[in-house]
Structure 1
Amino acid sequence: MLFMFFLGLLLSIGLEFIAAQSPEPGICYGVNGNNLPSKKETIDIFKSNGITKIRIYFPDAEALEALRGSNIELTVDVAKESLQAISSDPNAAKGWVNTNIVPYSQDVRFKYITVGNEIHPGDVEAQYILSGMQNIHDALASSNLGQIKVSTSIDLSLLGNSYPPSDGAFSEAATAYMQQIVNFLVPNGSPLLANIYPYFAYASDQVNIPLEYALFTQQGNNAVGYQNLFDAMLDSTYAALEKIGANNLQIVVSESGWPSSGGVGASIQNGGAYYQNLINHVKSGTGTPKRPNQPIETYLFAMWDENLKPGAETERHFGLLHADKSRKYELHFHGN
C-alpha cells in the first residue's frame, strides 16, 4: 500500500519521471532537512518512476540498501569529513571502500565516486583531493571494482575567465590545482564533474546576462552565437581544460538547478522553465557548440527542498518537490 501511495502521489503531482530516450538527466538527492521523507520512501519514488541516475552526498546505508537491485546508476561522494583520512592513509581508503562499496557492489550500480565537492585551491581540503582520488582508485582496483570511476566535482568559480567561452581559462590560483586533477583523470579514463548553475551567474550580473538567456528562451541574441548560458558555461570549462592539456576530457554536469524562492529571479515560473528547458536540451542530444552532438550527462539539483541547507535563502529552494511531497513544477522527462 505504501508503494502504491507514493506512485499515485507522483502521478498526481505532474512529475513525469518517464525516460524513453537517452541521454536522460539524473537527480541529486540531498538530505539537509529535518522534514524530508525517509531514504527508503525517496528511493522507492526514484525506482517506481524510472529514474536511472542519482547522486548522493555521502554513503548512506539506508539509501544503499534501498538501491539494491534497482538498476539505478549511482554517484556517491566521499563526505568532506572523511577526505583527510582517505587521503593520508591508503588503508583508510580501503576501509572506506570495504565498508561503503564492496558490500553493495553486486546489486548497486556504482558509477562515480566523487572525492570532494566544490573544493577550492585555498581550502584546507584541497591538499587531500589528489591523493584521496588515487587511494580510492587503488582500493577499488584491489577489490576488482575498477569499473567505478573516481573523480572530483568542481564549481565554476575556479575559472578566471569565462567569456567568450572560447577564452575560458582557470584562474592563476586554480591552474596548478586543476592540472594535478586532470593528470589523474585523463589516464584513468574518468570524467571531470562540474556543478553548473546559470542561476548564480545571472543573479550576480543581471546587467549583462538576460534572464531569457539563462532560462534557454532567448535565441541567439549575443555576439558569440550561443543559444543559452548553460552551453556557454559548459564550453568555457571545456576551453579551460584544453588550455591545461586535457583536450578530450569529458565533463559530467554533476549539479544544475534553479531556485523557486529566496532571491532575484527565483520563482516557480522561472524554476519550472529552467528545469524543463534543461531536460529538453539534454534529451535532444545536440551537445554544445564546442562539443556538438555529444551527450551531456547531467544531474538536476535536487529532489527535495532542504530546509536546513546553510547559506543564502535560495539554497533551501532548489527542490523539484516540496518536502511534503507536494508538486512544485509540471515537468516531463520524456523529451521535447
Structure 2
Amino acid sequence: MAFFNARNSKNFLMAVAFLLLGIFMSGLEFTGAQSVGVCYGRIGDNLPSEQQVVDLYRNNGIGKMRIYDPNQATLEALGNFPDIELILGVPNEDIQALATDASVAANWVQGNILSHPPMVNIRYISVGNEIRPEDSAAQFLLPAMQNIYNALASANSAILLQLKVTTSVDATLLGSSYPPSAGSFSDSASSYIIPIIQFLADKGAPLLANIYPYFSYIGDPVNIDLSYALFTSPGVVVQDGAYGYQNLFDAILDAFYSAIEKVGVTNMEVIVSETGWPSDGGTAATIENASTYYQNVINHVKNNGTPKKSGTLIQAYLFAMFDEDQKGPAETERHFGLFSPNMQPKYPISF
C-alpha cells in the first residue's frame, strides 16, 4: 500500500490540476484565432505593466503569448487566465549553467514552473532563441534541454502531458531553401541541429522557427518580389513539383519541413515562433507594408496549411506586441510592434 508524504501529496494534487487544465482546454472552442499568438518582448523603458499587457491580450482576443524569460510579474498576471497559451523562454545566457548542473535545471523548473498556479497555461519551454552553431552556447543547448526535461519529469510526469521542451531557431541554419523541397540544414549546422531534432522527435515536441520574409526580401530584392513577401501575389510565384507557392512565408516554412525530413523525421510540427514586418527604419519598412503583412499572415494561418502540409493549420506568433525602444542595433528592430507603448494599435488588425 502506498503512503503519501507531503511531497507525494503535492505532486498528486499538481497532477490532478494539470489534468483538469487539459480537460478544460480541450473543451474550449479552438477557432482559427487560436492559431495566432503574439510575442511579448520587454526591451523598452516605456512599456505598460505586465497586468496591463495581459489584459490587452485578452481584450484583443489574442490566445497565445511568447515571452523570452521567466518574468515573474508576467507569470503572476497570467495566473487566472488559462485561455492564454504560453511559450516560456529560457534566456541564452542561462543555458550553460542549466546544461552543466542538473540541480540548476531542477531549481529553474521549481521556481518558474512548479511555483506558479497550474492555471498558467505553459505549453512550450523554448530553451534559447536563435542559437547558431558558432555561438558559445551551442554546445550546451541540447544538454540544457535534456536537464530541463528530466527536471520536469522528476517533479511531476503529468506536466509533460501539457508542456513540451523545445528551442527556437532561425533560417540561417538552412543551407538550402530554394525550392522548398530542396530545404536542408547546412553542413556547418548539421552536427549541431540534427541531435536536437532527434531529441524533439523522441519526446514528441515541435521545433520552433523564426520566419521573416522581410529579411529575405531586403536581402535579395532583385529576385524576390515584394508582393511574394507580403502575401499579395495574385498567383503562384514558385512551382515546386506538385506544390505551388504564392507567398514566401509558406516557402520558408516548407523548407524547414524538407530539412527535417532529410534528417529522417517525418511527423514533427514546426511552429512559427516569430514572424513580423517593421513599420519604420529601413527598406520597405512602412506602416502600409507592416499592416498588410500582419493582417495577411493572420488570415493565412487561420485558414490554411502550407502546400506541403495542406491538412495542418499553422501555429504562428507575430513579433511583436510593442515597439521596443531599446532594441537594436538596426533601427528596424525598434519598430516591429503591433501596438505603441501607450497600448494604442498601430494598425487596424483583427485577430
Alpha-carbon separation, structure 2, partners of 1:110 and 1:221: 38
Task: Select which of 127, 139, 146 maps to 1:134.
Answer: 146
Matches within 5 A, 1:151-162: 151-162=166-177
Aligned to 2:237: 221
Contact persistence 1:121–1:173 (CA under 8 A): yes
Q: Answer yes or no: is 1:45 the counterpart of 2:56.
A: yes
Superposed, 1:36-185 pairs within 5 Å as 36-71=47-82, 72-144=84-156, 145-147=159-161, 148-185=163-200
Give identity over the alignment, percent: 52
Q: Is the contact made by 1:151 and 1:192 (CA closer than 8 Å) also made in structure 2?
A: yes
1:106-131 CA distance string (max 9 Å, x none):
22011000111000001000011100
Structure 2: runs of 5 or more not aligned: 1-29
Superposed CA offset, 1:123-182 (max 9, x none): 000011100000000111112122310001000001111101100111100011111101
Structure 2 counterpart of 1:282, from 298, 301, 320: 301
Q: Equivalent residue for 1:3?
A: none
Question: Structure 1, residues 59-102: CA drift from partner, whole Å, max 9, x if none?
Answer: 00100000002011111111122111111111100000000110
Partners of 1:322 and 1:328 within 8 A in 2: yes
Shift of 1:223: 4.0
Q: Is the 8 A contact 1:23 1:295 kept in 2?
A: no
Secondary structure of 1:278 counterpart:
helix
The CA deviation at 1:197 is 0.3
Provide the secondary structure at the position in 2 that maps to 1:304: coil
> What's the counterpart of residue 238 of structure 1?
257
Return 217-226 or 128-137, whichever deviates more. Answer: 217-226
TM-score computed with the length of structure 2 as normaliser: 0.87
Q: Distance in 1 between matches of 2:58 and 2:249?
A: 28
Larger gyration radius, structure 1 or structure 2: 2
2:38 aligned residue: 27
Query: 2:213 matched to 1:198?
Result: yes
The aligned residue for residue 7 of structure 1 is none
Say if 1:163 and 1:236, in contact at 8 Å, map to a contact too: yes
**Which of 317-326 and 149-158 deviates more?**
317-326
Count of residue pairs the alignment pairs up: 314
Counterpart of 1:296 (choices 305, 314, 326) is 314
What is the rounded CA distance, in whole Å, between the counterparts of 1:221 and 1:120 in structure 2? Answer: 30
The corresponding residue for 1:8 is none
Partners of 2:92 and 2:131 within 8 A in 1: no
Instruction: Note the residue ranges of structure 1 that are not aligned, 5 or more in a row.
Output: 1-18
Structure 2 Cα separation of the partners of residues 86 and 178 of structure 1: 19
State the Cα deviation string for residues 256-290 of structure 1 (Å, max 9, x = none).
Answer: 00000011110000000000000000111x20111
Deviation of 1:23 (Å) = 4.3
Q: Partner of 2:122: helix, strand, or coil?
A: strand
Are the aligned partners of 1:58 and 1:78 in contact in 2 as well (CA < 8 Å)? yes
Deviation string 1:275-328 (CA, Å, 9 cap, x unpaired) is 0000000111x2011111201111000000000012211111000011122321
Q: How does 1:259-274 map to 2 (within 5 A)?
A: 259-274=278-293
Which structure is higher in RCO with an 8 Å CA cutoff and minimum separation 6?
Answer: 1
Residues 25-34 or 324-333, more deviating: 324-333
Letter in 2 for 1:87: A
Aligned Cα root-mean-square deviation (Å): 1.2
User: What do residues 213-266 of structure 1 show as CA deviations (whole Å, max 9, x unaligned)?
Assistant: 000000213343211000000001111111111221110000000000011110
Question: 1:209, 1:223 → 2: CA distance?
Answer: 14
Asked if 2 retains the 8 angstrom alpha-carbon contact of 1:23 and 1:282, the reply is no
Q: Specify the alignment match of 2:273 in structure 1.
A: 254
